[in-house]
Amino acid sequence: MPIIDFHAHILPGADHGSDSSKTSLAQLALLRAAGVDAVVATPHFYPHMHSMQSFLEHRARCAERLVRHLTPAYPTAFVGAEVLACEGLEHMEGLEHLAVKGTRTLLLELPFSGWGHGLVETVLQIREHGFTPVLAHVDRYPRASIEEFLHEGILAQLNAELFAHPLRLRAYRRWIENGAVVALGSDLHKAPKNGHRPFQKMCAKLGPEADRIFARTAELLEGAVPLTPTEAPQKEEALVLT
């Protein structure tokens, strides 16, 4: 079963996750060291700050910067977005462009300052419109608030950092066991020393459950279009990783 990082900020210059191709390649090397076979690049999309067109153009330029250096030695990279959910998002023109390219799978980040039932309705409407919304890092929010979405069958992603805290992890076991968790993410920002360890640890702790989750992720990525590696990476970037 391919090991898939569903949530990572690895596009150079796309957001605060990576400031350069050099950083992005170091991030991909970390993910490779963690055993990751495929990663979804999910730059932040803030509906109150970004226009769809400027975001898509900027993201395309950032992806182009990265793709020049990709080789088959790196994990396969897909492009999506981490979209901040807000009421009315279901009406946003061009929302399909924020799904993982080639799919209708949409990573949604909930606000940290709380929300009303209207936001649940929004996410359900998005699903009605043929998307498969996945809630990003549900481990970061009050569990009762997330339950409102999960009761409706909305899907969830967990961050690797959760697995460093055994007591906290216990609280999320049920969501893993009942199939609500369909994706795992490094949520990698920058390229910290030993940055491969959290993802590695998560896979080790989950054991066979990780494979079940990755199988669900693979289904969500069916038809996804990867960034295509080039035959000859630029030498100076390749040297960084040796």
Q: Which residue is nearest to Fe ion (CB)?
A: 187
Our CB check for Fe ion shows the closer of 9 and 127 to be: 9
> What is the nearest approach in angstroms of Fe ion to the Cβ of residue 242?
29
* Residue entry with tokens 């793709």: 67
As a 3-state breakdown, the chain gives helix, strand, coil percent values, each rounded to 5, of 45, 15, 40
Nearest approach in angstroms of CB 80 to Fe ion is 11
* For Fe ion, the closer CB: 126 or 136: 136
- CB nearer to Fe ion: pick between 161 and 187: 187
Decide whether 82 or 90 has the Cβ nearer to Fe ion.
82
Piece of the chain touching Fe ion by CB under 5 A; list 95-103, 162-170, 186-194, 224-232: 186-194
Let me know: does 7 contact 217? Beta carbons within 8 Å: no
Residue closer to Fe ion by CB (options 187, 237) is 187
**Cα gap 187→195, rounded to integer Å:** 11
Positions in 67-126 near Fe ion (CB under 5 A): 82
In order of 8, 175, 239, the CA distances from 17 in angstroms are: 8, 28, 21
187 binds Fe ion (CB under 5 A): yes
* Shortest distance, position 54 Cβ to Fe ion, whole Å: 20
- The distance of closest approach from Cβ of residue 187 to Fe ion in the complex, given in angstroms and rounded to an integer, is 4
DSSP H helices, 44-97, are: 52-67
5 contributes a contact to Fe ion by CB under 5 A: no
Q: How far is the CB of 138 from Fe ion (least distance, A)?
A: 12
C-beta closer to Fe ion: residue 6 or 172: 6
Residue 110's nearest CA partner among 77, 78, 148 is 148
In DSSP notation, 201-218 reads HHHHHHTHHHHHHHHHHH
In whole angstroms, what is the distance from residue 146 CA to residue 120 CA?
10
- Amino acid at site 22: K
Min. distance of Cβ 82 from Fe ion in angstroms? 5
- 66: nearest Cα among 184, 109, 220, 75: 75
Residues in 193-222 that interact with Fe ion by CB under 5 A: none
Q: Which is nearer to Fe ion, 90 or 187 (CB)?
A: 187
Count residues near Fe ion (CB under 5 A). 2
Residues 43, 173: Cα–Cα separation, whole Å: 28
CA angle 134, 3, 188 (to 5 degrees): 65
The closest alpha carbon to 11, from 46, 48, 42, belongs to 42
What does the per-residue mask of binding to Fe ion show for 138-177, with x meaning CB under 5 A? ----------------------------------------
CB of 45 to Fe ion, least distance (A): 11
Binding region for Fe ion (CB under 5 A):
82, 187
